[in-house]
Amino acid sequence: MGEVKWEREQMLVDKILEKAPYAEGKVRRERRIEFSIPADRIRDFLMLLKENDFELMLQITTVDWPNDGELELIYQMWSVTHRTHAMVRTRIPRDLDKARIPTVKDIYPVAETYERDSHDFFGVYFEGNEKMEMPWILDDTEQGLFPHRKDFDMLTYVKKKYKLLDRFDEDKDNYVI
């Protein structure tokens, strides 16, 4: 009985890949499928998913891979019709001037919020999304700091921001109460 369900997911993956030869796809487990696509095809692919009854975008997750020099964007999609979750992975360069990808907010309007979060915390710029201004979480003087990147030094930031040098043990960089 389990194999029949996996066949349903495999048929769905095959149907989507037939129309998207640039993508790679696989069944992860029951009701879970996954795709890897080039960043420049994200709009095409998400439009294809929407046409194939993936009605909902659940979130956009960003993962920082500093050793690879890349940021990975993971689009979490849900199909009410197929009762299936699709994870769509793509990678972009980590450099701030190259960390760009087209917006998908016109395909899935909720993406506007998720794109803004990715911008604020990781520095990803979504081309076509007008809300990509200075991150709200930082002051104007702190451009280029993105707190969820793995190379962000929180302790140094807090010391500078709140001028708490007298409350830190400078030899150990530990907070002293």
Does residue 172 belong to any structural domain of this protein?
no
If you compute the radius of gyration of the chain from its CA atoms, what whole number of angstroms results? Answer: 20
Does residue 167 belong to any structural domain of this protein?
no
Site of tokens 């709200």: 136
- Which pLDDT tens digits describe the chain residue by residue (177 residues)? 445 568 889 999 999 999 999 999 999 999 999 999 999 999 999 999 999 999 999 999 999 999 999 999 999 999 999 999 999 999 999 998 899 999 999 999 999 999 999 998 898 999 988 877 765 566 544 666 788 888 887 777 777 766 655 555 555 555 554
Q: Is 51 helix (H, G, I), strand (E, B) or coil?
A: helix
Does residue 170 belong to any structural domain of this protein?
no
Q: Cα–Cα distance between 110 and 38 in angstroms, integer? A: 22
Q: What local confidence, expressed as pLDDT, does residue 76 receive?
A: 98
Domain that includes residue 37, residue range: 7-161
Does residue 174 belong to any structural domain of this protein?
no
* CATH number for 39: 3.30.460.80
Of 125, 129, 145, the closest CA to residue 137 belongs to 145
